A and B are shown apart, each in its own frame.
Chain A
Amino acid sequence: MTFVCGESSLSFIGFRMTDNSVSAIPPPPGTENPPLPPPPPDSTPPNQQHSSWPPYYYNSYYNNQYAQYYQYYMMNGYNPHYGAYQAQLANKKEEGDKIQPPLPPGPPLPSTPPSNPRPPLLNTPKQFGNIRFQLNGKRLLNANAMFQGNSPNSGAAKKKRKRNRNNQNNHFNQQINYNVPPLPPPELNIPKPAPPPETMPPEPPLPPLPDTGKATLPPLINQESQDAKPSQNGFSNPTDDWPESLKITSIVAMPSARLRSIKTNPVSLIKIGARNHYRISIVKDSLLLVKLKLYRVSWHNFKNNSKKGLSPGLGARSRSRSPIGKRSQGQDPGALKGIVLQVTVQLPVTENFKPLMKGGKKGKGKLADRLGPTKKLSGKALKKQKARRRKPIFTPPSARIWKKTTNFYNREPPDLIIVKLTLFNDDTTVDFDWSDCHIVGTCQDLEKSFLRLRKAPDPCDIRPVEVLKLSLENVKVRWMEKQDYFYACDQLKSIRQDLTVQGIRNEFTIQVYETHARIALEKGDHEEFNQCQTQLKMLYIEIGGPNRNEFIAYRILYYVFTKNTLDIMTIMKSLSKEEKSDTCISFALKIRSAWGSGNFHKFFMLYRVAPLMAGYLIDWFIDRERKDYLKCIIKSYRQNVTVTFLMQELAYGTAEECLEFLEKFSLSFADGERTLVDCKSSMAVLPNI
């Protein structure tokens, strides 16, 4: 794969993925090329950086963080994860040498608008060579490559550069295997953000990638989804793992002037779900992706220029489609099973595609003419588009203007990137159904505020799992430092949302919900807690998890809180003997029993020994029970009861706290020091309690 970066006067960057040339840097076709940027690393880069990573990331930091966090992390199944993490790490280290590095970041691009003539956009896919990949349902082998999915190696304008800093620091994994070309100096001084969390169970050791001397493209895979369901397959191995028959012919990205560098990403088709749905997306290997928007997907009859290995009789008909994820007419998605596709991603390089600045009127108008359909198509336009679909090869490139989202963090409007994706196949009869494809996010923001979705989500607003893991880590750290519930809740909700729209349901999802449930528990946010525990209930059924019993116990207590005896019964119905003997669950059942039979004494005794975070949950209704018990005591005891007795019975730590509670009810005291409550004269206020 070749990586070309324009000089100061260039705003165009071409990528080349060829079968045989990796380190060669041919100029993008059609350009009078300026001097090349620093050469990309060799195919087998030195690995010495690996050891230089501070243990901080792997051990102490991670551990400490949890040690300070909740007690339960230490008690409950966290450590196994950690162990698994380390095991995985070891694997990674072993494999380190063999893994092909992602492309290094290019030198910064100047932010001046392009003046050079650009290579022609259309009809040039061949110039860019091929990337191959395979679509036959094989599981992706290279987990490490997945891990590299976040390469920081590209940037755009200032803002992006800023983000880039974070990413580069975050994604140390990607950098450990190759020499990083020098970054712009200021970026080096940025403090490191939270390390990427790794709490997934260990993956089986992965076979090393074939060392082919070609640059490896980080595959686009959602690691999570792979782990979660065997039926989800990613096809993105960029190297020789891909059969001849399926290649990405080329990827051409045209960033605006403000893009500093670009890294290519393989385009992948991911099979999702059981129904042979595929989603298409571009690997989020670079920051470019943040801005990258697949606009149009064209399916072409590939018969004419088909390559060896294309199997006839399978396939999708040539179609152009926009934007990704939008649906077309129904057809049989199953027909794609096992077919070979060829993907071309193109960037327009014609004069007409000037970088768009902030959606300026001029650019918009001009583009709109040639851009083709956006989401809202008039009937006419639709027809036109349909007609265009029949055209065999290379529908006109389209572009989509980056819409500025109402984002809390105020992202900059994006640079215009136009990508054309062409899937080749040898059959023109089948279309396919994107309708229930989940999107794959491309957003790299660590923090994102929650915003209720009112329309179909835009991939550029959605963060992929790798980023979400960092985000979760970030939230945890912030939570420990500041205990700012508003912030934590907001962030966790947006993480949850991103997971939902991407259809990610796995251990990480559980982790997110557990984290939120616990924080909500601690802060008494009933609503969020209930949402989380409802989701967790289903996730545990689907996936299971080490903390399942703990959360079943919370759920029992939550139903005691809501006095929902029916649901308590449902839980009890479902509990097995082993589950009933679990510390947490048996505690919750005892609380339930004491509460149900009005045995307040026992209830408050149990409250004092609540395991894990159960105490927090009981806190939600402890005052309700205290009032009931107080009423009961006042009505049934005569003469006096001591405040000390009440303090013990109501599970208060000190007499002062107890008095504070009692004061609210204007009880009568038998003595001036207020150590004795006069029950008989307090009867008058009984209705007020």
Chain B
Amino acid sequence: MTFMTLAHYLQIIDRSWRAQDGSKIASFISLRHEHAKYQNYHVESPEGLVERFLISPIDDLVVLHLKCLYYIAVGDFLEAYRQQSTLVQNFSKILQLQKEENWSLPIMYTICSDLRLVAQQAEKQKIGPNENPGEILEKAAECLMGCFRVCAADNRSAEEDTKRIGMLALVNQLFKVYFRINKLHLCKPLIRAIESSPFKECFSLSQQVTYRYFVGRKAMYDSNYKAADEYLTYAFENCHKSSRKNKRLILIYLVPVKMLLGYIPSKKVLEKYDVVQFWDLVQAVCQGNLKRFDELMDMHETFFIKCGIYLIVDKLKIIAYRNLFRKVYLILNTHQIPVEALQSALEYLGQDVDLDETQCIVANLIYEGKIKGYISHQHRKVVVSKQNPFPALTTLS
């Protein structure tokens, strides 16, 4: 079973290269393209054949591409990664030499995301405890940075053929790597580069959605929930409706952020995107049912940790405290709530706390503005404001 002969394939590449058809070459040099599957493309040393069809510099790239295919076929992702990485490095040199033209950017997009994917595979495959986890991905990121620099430095070209338009795609690839290896601090200069770019609004929507998804996540980890909300909401609203998987990913981060800010997701949307894990949690938080909350945290711990939102979801407990205390306040119907009353409510819900700890929890809520009032330590009373003692969370800054 063959796709097309290697010679034919090389002819197509040759023609496209001469015609400067970037996207055609891109698809034909992609590891995910159909041709990659066929055995006649798995050649260990394709140099001789390629040289007959192709001119420099594209011949180099194709040789490396075919070698990479070969190593993937034999299952050696480490070596495949090396080939692909050389491919990207060689390409960045070619790119640099192409002044005033950016038709080859699609090739860059393709080979860069291929590089990342191969690096991920290689990372999985590498054995031996001596090796640093994430080392290959880090190297791949360096390689991508090489391309990024070429693009970012191209500020002489006219707007229609500047390579700077390719920056965002690279930044997104780099984000993917950095998030995978937990090096979020490396994202900062990239974000700055994009935010200050004059083409900020010109990048394709899909790239922008990806970009905001990552920037939003980063803001969330930095406890900047307002910004996180903004970015993730943009991503969620603009993500193509057929990309349910991506929308779901965005939602996983958007839901806890929104909840921290006092917005409760509807059951419908949670069901639609298959994140019903949140629904029970939403209810527990709304009711101030700390016992249920703890149970749910235990139950979904793996899911939350896997998504990297455990610590954020954990913070929802503070909201649950607030809702519980509000209930106690409404039941007692007094502005002077005895700390004992709050403590027994907490204990009833399985919280092992003493008076001082209860006070501490209340103090925290007052400090954050979630309760208006003060604690009288001498009288062991929480004195709440007569007007709106539990302001809506959405009104808090």
Contact = CB atoms under 8 A, between A and B. Distances in A.
Interface of A: 505, 538, 541-542, 565-570, 572-573, 593, 596-602, 631-633, 635-642, 645, 648-649
B315 A599 contact: no
Nearest to B382: A636
5 contacts: A566-B308, A570-B182, A599-B357, A636-B375, A640-B377
Contact of B311 (A538, A596, A639, A648): A596
B124 to A, nearest CB: 16
Interface string B178-196: 0000101000000000000
A430 to B, nearest CB: 25
Given A598-B364, A632-B363, A566 B377 contact: no
Contact of A638 (B221, B311, B367, B375): B375
Given A542-B130, A598-B318, A601-B357, 6 more contacts: A542-B129, A596-B311, A600-B364, A602-B360, A635-B367, A641-B377
A510 to B, nearest CB: 13
Interface of B is mostly: helix
B376 interface: yes
A650 to B, nearest CB: 11
A568 B311 contact: yes
Contacts of A538: 129, 132
A569 B364 contact: no
A572 B357 contact: no
Nearest to B357: A601
B356 interface: yes
B378 A639 contact: yes
B252 interface: no
B337 interface: no
B362 A636 contact: yes
B376 A599 contact: no
Given A632-B364, A638-B374, A602 B306 contact: no
Contacts of B360: 599-602, 649
A670 to B, nearest CB: 12
A538 B129 CA distance: 8
A649 B356 contact: yes
Contacts of B359: 601
Contacts of B362: 636
A211 to B, nearest CB: 40
B314 interface: yes
A596 B367 CA distance: 15
A319 to B, nearest CB: 29
Contacts of B306: 573
A566 B221 contact: yes
B221 A565 contact: yes
B310 interface: yes
A631 B367 contact: yes
Nearest to A567: B182
Interface in B190-211: none
A567 B179 CA distance: 11
Closest 7 A/B residue pairs (Cβ): A601-B360, A636-B366, A638-B374, A636-B363, A542-B129, A632-B367, A601-B357
A641 B366 CA distance: 16
Given A631-B367, A635-B367, A637-B376, A565 B361 contact: no
Contacts of B356: 601, 648-649
Nearest to A570: B182
Interface of B: 129-130, 132, 182, 184, 221, 305-306, 308, 310-311, 314-315, 317-318, 356-357, 359-364, 366-367, 374-378, 383
Given A598-B318, A601-B360, A636 B374 contact: yes
B364 A637 contact: no
Contacts of B130: 505, 542
A96 to B, nearest CB: 37
A641 B377 CA distance: 7
B377 A597 contact: no
B305 A635 contact: no
A602 B361 CA distance: 10
Contact of A637 (B129, B308, B314, B363): B363
B361 to A, nearest CB: 7
A660 B102 CA distance: 66
Contacts of A649: 356, 360
A596 B311 CA distance: 7
A637 B314 CA distance: 26
Nearest to A544: B129
A270 B61 CA distance: 42
Contacts of A567: 182
A572 B310 contact: yes
Given A596-B314, A597-B315, A597-B318, A569 B305 contact: yes
B363 A633 contact: yes
Contacts of B182: 566-567, 570
Given A572-B310, A637-B363, A602 B374 contact: no
Given A566-B184, A645-B377, A635 B366 contact: yes
B314 A569 contact: no
Contacts of B378: 639-640
A599 B308 CA distance: 22
A593 B376 contact: no
| Residue of B305, B366, B367 ringed by the most chain A CB atoms within 10 A | B367
B361 A599 contact: yes
B225 to A, nearest CB: 13
A541 B182 CA distance: 19
Contacts of A631: 367
Contacts of A638: 374-376, 383
Nearest to B309: A569
B357 A637 contact: no
Contacts of B367: 631-632, 635-636
A498 B367 CA distance: 53
Contact of A541 (B129, B315, B363, B383): B129
B112 to A, nearest CB: 24
B10 to A, nearest CB: 33
Contacts of A633: 363
Contacts of B366: 635-636
B66 to A, nearest CB: 26
B242 to A, nearest CB: 31
B364 A572 contact: no
A609 to B, nearest CB: 15
A631 B368 CA distance: 11
A173 B30 CA distance: 65
A396 to B, nearest CB: 40
Nearest to B184: A566
A641 to B, nearest CB: 5
B375 A593 contact: no
Contacts of B375: 636-638
Contacts of A648: 356
Contacts of A645: 377
A568 B374 CA distance: 34
Nearest to A635: B367
Contacts of A641: 377
A641 B310 CA distance: 35
B220 to A, nearest CB: 10
A474 B359 CA distance: 51
A637 B377 contact: yes
B192 to A, nearest CB: 20
Nearest to A573: B305
Contact of A572 (B132, B305, B361, B363): B305
Contact of A569 (B132, B311, B357, B376): B311
Contacts of A568: 311
Contacts of B364: 598-600, 632, 636
Contact of A593 (B129, B184, B314): B314
Contacts of A569: 305, 308, 310-311
A637 B318 contact: no
Contacts of A639: 376, 378
Contacts of A640: 377-378
Nearest to B371: A636
B357 to A, nearest CB: 4
B186 to A, nearest CB: 12
